[in-house]
Amino acid sequence: MPGSPGDPGTGGLPALATVKNVDPHAPEPGTPAPEEGGSAAVRGEDGVTNGGPDPTAPAPRARLLRRTLRPAWSSRNLELILAARVAMSAGRALAGVIVPIYLALQGFSAVELAAYVVVVAAASAVLSTAIGTLADQVGRKPFLVALPLVTAAAAATFAVTASHPLLFVAGALGSFGRGAGAGAGAVGPYQPAESAFVTDDLPSQYRNAAFGFVTFSSSFGALVGSLLALLVPKVHAHGAAATAAFRDGFVAIAVASAVAGILAWWLVEARRLAPRRTGAGGAGGRGDRARRFRLPHHSRWLLYRLWITNTLNGAAVGMFGPFVTYWFFRRFDVGSGQLGLLFAAINAATMVSSLSAAGLARRWGLVRTVTVVRVLQAVLLVPMVLAPSFVAAGAVYFLRMIVQRIGLPLRQSYAVGLAHPDERASVAALSNLPSQLAMAGSPLVTGYLMDEVSLSLPFELAAVLQFLNASTFWLLFRRHPPDEERPRDAGTGQAAPVGDGAGASPPWSAPPAMPDPPIGGAGGTVAPRPGG
């Protein structure tokens, strides 16, 4: 009987033998006899035979590590995405270290650097919105191939010129200068297409874990890119001399970006069938074309909420994210090599924290985990800017980035997981549009304050904004858990739909009506998880 003791398929205890004179070492009926001189031992799943350890079996720890890094639910597409992420993040991290220092050596003041960041952020906002909208129409793969190659061309431009207008244009196309070498979360304007591709490729119960692996790959790539900063010597040259000193670094960025685009070429994307719509002019008429560029219909409720929280977050990140390297350079007079080693240590440590994100979300709930992480990010900014030395400031920044890397995959997973399947890339892009616009405006405030008031005041203001962002996120999303946290239907195994009674709508058409989650574990109830 299935599930009874002794049933090997259910993990039950073996039944006690009641028949006498039975050789306990005799093979089971139907088991082939061992060869002459061989052993009758049978290897178990743990690599151990009934006659002792089998030296040819893989070590249990090695097998566990292999299963951890390459789980059974992984796919070839996901592995290509991860490999491309490693390459692209290596280039992004290296650019985050050397571009701000390079621009400072070329004579950029804090205000001029802020103007550069505004141009880069505005261009990235336009590209990201366009890519996210078009990716739902024509597919995700074309952008995963083309945009890294554009970034490679931009890096090549930095390697050969010191012209300020050309640096502005190349920086805008390559999205150089929007973050530090430890900020391995972003790969550029095509990220909405990448997030939608990952979500489409895997079942929802593996989505958080998959985005954890994406962030892990980013951290690993950023680790490599941070170490590549050692290629650039610490110099105080200007003009062509600075370009020559930084050339190897920009060539490395170009090569890494090109590799990412080449890897994406081998992705296999399912053919997308766009829903047939008819407007006033009939099928394919003017009314249909007008509808094509409207806001997502099914996921609009989600989009409005994300706009509120992401605007606050974008204003905060815009005030300090693009200036972290510049702040360390100005405050402590450190070069690209020292900053590269700091960012390398951060990226090495955060590889583990990114993989822990899915487990924390299962234990605490995704929305609560993201809220706590964002509060800690805000709090840790203050002691960082008040630190008296590079070592002390670097240690606080190290801790902050470990915390930040936990929330990063969960935020990405949450946004695309609640969106309608046909609108995921659009939601991923449009939800970040206010954030990118805020990031385009707030650097101007930072540049002025750094030049005229205080080098650290913008970071303290950013901490206040990020705390407001955490509070708003909790208020708007605490009753909207992702699919994998909603109760499952006993018959179908699907997440409970939104609404009550017959005719309830699917989860993406309206916000789920869920009670407030308990603050503490005692006395509270937890929605059942898939498989558990």
- State residue 226's pLDDT score: 86
- State residue 40's pLDDT score: 40
At residue 163's C-alpha, the angle toward residues 160 and 167, to 5°, is 80
- State residue 351's pLDDT score: 78
Q: How far is CA 192 from CA 87, 198, 416, 469, in A?
A: 18, 10, 9, 21
Query: In which element (H, E) is residue 262 found?
Result: helix 239-264
- Write out the DSSP string of 475-521: HHHTT---GGGSPBPTTT-PBPPBSSSTTPBPTTSS----PPPPSSS
pLDDT over threshold 70, residue 64:
no
In this prediction, residue 321 has a pLDDT band, given cuts at 50, 70 and 90, of confident
- State residue 431's pLDDT score: 82
Name the residue among 80, 129, 481, 109 with its Cα closest to residue 310: 129
3-state secondary structure of 49: strand
**Range of weakest confidence among 2-6, 123-127, 515-519:** 2-6
Give the separation between CA 341 and CA 58, rounded to whole angstroms. 35
Name the residue among 237, 412, 251, 232 with its Cα closest to residue 325: 232
**Range of weakest confidence among 153-167, 371-385, 482-496:** 482-496
What are the helix and strand counts (H, E) for the chain? Answer: 18, 4
When comparing pLDDT for 485 and 287, which is higher? 485
When comparing pLDDT for 379 and 179, which is higher? 379
In this prediction, residue 444 has a pLDDT band, given cuts at 50, 70 and 90, of confident
When comparing pLDDT for 265 and 32, which is higher? 265
Cβ-contact 220, 136 below 8 angstroms: no
- State residue 494's pLDDT score: 57
For residue 238, give both structure tokens.
Answer: 């200007």
Q: What letter does residue 58 receive in the DSSP assignment? A: P
pLDDT over threshold 80, residue 245:
yes
Within 10 Å of residue 265's Cβ, how many Cβ atoms?
Answer: 11
In this prediction, residue 274 has a pLDDT band, given cuts at 50, 70 and 90, of low
For residue 267, give both structure tokens.
Answer: 């992705």
When comparing pLDDT for 85 and 20, which is higher? 85
Q: How far is CA 434 from CA 59, 165, 309, 365, in A?
A: 51, 27, 9, 26
Amino acid present at 302: L
pLDDT over threshold 50, residue 2:
no
Cβ-contact 369, 355 below 8 angstroms: no
**Range of weakest confidence among 10-14, 204-208, 490-494:** 10-14
Kindly state the average pLDDT of the residues 57-83: 77
Chain centre to alpha carbon of residue 238: 36
% of the chain with per-residue pLDDT over 70: 72
According to DSSP, the residues that pair with 215 across neighbouring strands are none
- Write out the DSSP string of 222-251: HHHHHHHGGGS------HHHHHHHHHHHHH
For residue 371, give both structure tokens.
Answer: 């809220």
Write down the mean pLDDT value for the chain. 77
Kindly state the average pLDDT of the residues 279-285: 44
Give the separation between CA 42 and CA 78, rounded to whole angstroms. 36
When comparing pLDDT for 273 and 139, which is higher? 139
In this prediction, residue 180 has a pLDDT band, given cuts at 50, 70 and 90, of low
Kindly state the average pLDDT of the residues 239-259: 92
- State residue 55's pLDDT score: 53
- State residue 523's pLDDT score: 37
Q: How far is CA 456 from CA 184, 314, 322, 327, in A?
A: 23, 18, 14, 8
Amino acid present at 61: R
- State residue 470's pLDDT score: 95
Q: Phi-psi bin for 107: left (phi > 0), alpha (psi -120 to 50), beta?
A: left
For residue 24, give both structure tokens.
Answer: 């306990």
Give the separation between CA 391 and CA 428, rounded to whole angstroms. 37
Place of tokens 């008040």: 386
Give the separation between CA 510 and CA 16, rounded to whole angstroms. 56
Chain centre to alpha carbon of residue 425: 15
Give the separation between CA 523 and CA 28, rounded to whole angstroms. 50
Kindly state the average pLDDT of the residues 283-304: 64
Give the separation between CA 136 and CA 420, rounded to whole angstroms. 11
Q: Which domains does the chain have, with CATH numbers?
A: 72-269+297-477 (1.20.1250.20)
In this prediction, residue 14 has a pLDDT band, given cuts at 50, 70 and 90, of very low
Kindly state the average pLDDT of the residues 223-243: 84
Give the separation between CA 382 and CA 403, rounded to whole angstroms. 15
% of the chain with per-residue pLDDT over 90: 26
Give the separation between CA 233 and CA 231, rounded to whole angstroms. 6
Within 10 Å of residue 35's Cβ, how many Cβ atoms?
Answer: 7
**Range of weakest confidence among 11-15, 152-156, 305-309, 492-496:** 11-15
pLDDT over threshold 70, residue 93:
yes
Which segments of 292-432 does DSSP mark as H helices, in order?
300-320, 324-332, 336-355, 357-364, 366-386, 390-418, 424-430
pLDDT over threshold 60, residue 154:
yes
For residue 147, give both structure tokens.
Answer: 């945009």
- Write out the DSSP string of 12-35: PPPPPP--SS--TTSPPTTPPPPP
Question: Distance between terminal CA atoms of the chain?
Answer: 23
pLDDT over threshold 50, residue 32:
no
pLDDT over threshold 50, residue 6:
no
Give the separation between CA 147 and CA 131, rounded to whole angstroms. 10
- Phi, psi values for residue 205, rounded to 5°: -70, -15
**Range of weakest confidence among 140-149, 166-175, 485-494:** 485-494
pLDDT over threshold 80, residue 476:
yes
Kindly state the average pLDDT of the residues 238-246: 86
Place of tokens 């621009």: 103
- State residue 65's pLDDT score: 64
Name the residue among 202, 178, 129 with its Cα closest to residue 325: 178
Kindly state the average pLDDT of the residues 207-216: 84
> Using alpha carbons only, how large is the chain's radius of gyration in Å?
27
In this prediction, residue 178 has a pLDDT band, given cuts at 50, 70 and 90, of low
